[in-house]
Structure 1
Amino acid sequence: MSIDFELSDSGVATISINRPERLNAMDADTYDALSEAWVRVRDDDDVRVAVVTGAGDTSFTVGADIKSFLTADTPPSEFWLTQKSQLLNRGLEVWKPVVAAVNGYCLGGGMTLLFATDIRIAATHATFGLTEVKRGVFAANGGTQRLIENLPRAIAMELILLGDQIDAAKAERWGLVNEVVPVQELMDRAHAVAERLAKNAPLAVQASKELVVRSRDMDLATGLRMEQAMNKVLKTTYDAEEGPAAFAGKREPQFEGR
């Protein structure tokens, strides 16, 4: 399989892009399998958090496999298949938190995938870049749309227009990643963060993520009103009772996502 999917008892799904012989570049079949993985994360109540990474220690993913995409002859009708093989970075709405474990090259489509994740841990040897302009195309699947949300404008424009690469230290300094660790500690650290996320109230976590993401497209008054509405919904749930009860009883809460 080009995409590996594992689910722990605690609700942490690990998605691994598994084409190390191609630096985890993704052809059409890989994108289809990745789409199926994201849909499972979205729809499976047993999944509370997802960790996405690449197989091996060399590459997270370098994005689309150039050999299979830039030379492909697709019909014009493909342009209007906007819901086909939806991806996290192409508009699929996944409100469960996603942790990226960047284990090497994160280039092109790897960067646009990174932009759609929530918490990012990188290995010290990780390399980042939007290199598409050096190949005659541009960073699609959200590259031009999410870039300015992730980086200051001048830095964002430098990356996307020059197509140069940066190292993990600079990515951390610019706020592109949360933390940089030795590669041998990467997956343990990513899973440790994911386990902490999985212990929080699932519905409250998902509501928080959705409100933050949707704030990009709402004025403040609408956003505040949406907060009130979602809190009304959450107050009717089991978890909203369990949280205060656990606090009062000085015990760990056992959230169920209902």
Structure 2
Amino acid sequence: MSIDLAIDGAVAIVTINRPERRNAMDAEHYAGLSRAWIEVRDNPAIRTAIVTGAGDKAFSAGADLKSFTADAPPLADTLLTQQGQLLNRGLEVWKPVIAAVNGACLGGGTTLLLATDIRIAVRHATFSVSEVKRGLFPGNGGTQRLIQQLPHAIAMELLLTGDGIDAATAERWGLVNRVVEPDELMPTALAYARRIAENAPLAVQAAKELALRSRDVDLATGLRLEQLMLRLLQTSADAREGSDAFGEKRPPRFTGA
């Protein structure tokens, strides 16, 4: 019962390891997940990350509702906005994150999914934000990102009915990139991660940050931010290495400098 963090070369693998509870997360697991994301953000050896669940039944069933409704935190904690930040709740992680969805992706599992960049799912995976069936609504970005990432009518159907969809439907609507057989899940996710890790890390992180910030700024501001960021990257050692490698017809050796 833990949040496991393994590092494979430049790839971090974050595993929600509570299969006996369908990888549902109580306060302890959310705290562990927060620590894992901070390590991914701050460790320069990590260039990309994969998040998955233990076992073959569930990616995550989301928040362990019994633990939260039985022991609600003090009301004052709602003002501690920088406490226990998560990928889907305030923490800025510009390194790409890939979701390897190994089974049911429910509630908080789906809101975590929505904060990732590339998503691979097994054929038996299911997806839902069913909190309205239990007197709640999907927090940690559920009401914000779902409407950004899916057509309006589809997002509202999921939010308001609480009904779920299967992996094929999720792929059709662009919620996931690919649907694969179970034995192909981690190899496919790792292939994506390693392809990304081969690229210039500063450029990759800048591309992700600019793309996500574009949702919150007008086009003129976004274009100006692009211009300024590109000017910065032009002075980097990686930009020089990319140019030299292209001229010398060899693979580049990027260092993130």
Which residue is 1:140 aligned to?
A: 139
What are the superposed Cα offsets for residues 57-82 of structure 1, whole Å, 9 maximum, x if unpaired? 11000110011012223211111111
Instruction: Single out whichever of 75-84 and 152-161 deviates more from structure 2.
Output: 75-84
Q: 1:46-85 alignment to 2 at 5 Å?
A: 46-85=45-84
**Cα drift, residue 144 of structure 1:** 0.4
CA–CA separation in structure 1 for the residues paired with 2:6 and 2:223: 37
- Alpha-carbon deviation of 1:48? 0.1
Per the alignment, in what secondary structure is the counterpart of residue 214 of structure 2?
Answer: helix
Deviation string, structure 1 residues 142-184 (Cα, Å, up to 9, x no partner): 0001111110000000000000011000000000000000011
1:130 maps to which residue? 129
SS in 2 for 1:89: coil
- TM-score, structure 1 normalization: 0.98
User: Structure 2 CA distance, aligned partners of 1:52 and 1:119?
Assistant: 11
Structure 2 residue identity aligned to 1:83: Q
The correspondence of residues 1-258 of structure 1 with structure 2, limited to 5 A, is 2-9=2-9, 11-258=10-257
Report the alpha carbon displacement of residue 131 of structure 1 after superposing the two structures with TM: 0.6
Task: Calculate the TM-score normalised by the size of structure 2.
Answer: 0.99
- C-alpha separation between the residues in 2 aligned to 1:117 and 1:79? 25
CA deviations over 1:233-255 (Å, ceiling 9, x no partner): 10111100000111111111010
Say which SS state the counterpart of residue 144 (structure 1) adopts.
helix
Whole-angstrom CA distance in 2 between matches of 1:196 and 1:58: 28
Q: Which runs of 5+ in 1 are unaligned?
A: none
Structure 1 segments, 4+ long, off by >6 Å, are none
Query: How far does the alpha carbon of each residue in 1:92-130 deviate from its partner, in whole angstroms, 9 at most, with x for none?
Result: 000000000000010000010000000000000000000
Alignment partners' CA distance in 2, 1:60 and 1:80: 30
Partner amino acid for 2:125? A
Any idea what SS the aligned residue of 1:128 has? strand
Deviation, 1:196, is 0.3
Counterpart-to-counterpart distance in 2, 1:37 and 1:53: 13
Most deviating of 72-81 and 116-125: 72-81
Indicate the RMSD between aligned Cα atoms, in angstroms.
0.7
Q: In the aligned structure 1, how far is the partner of 2:93 from the partner of 2:15?
A: 17
Q: Return the letter of the residue paired with 1:188.
A: P
Question: What is the percent sequence identity of the aligned residues?
Answer: 65
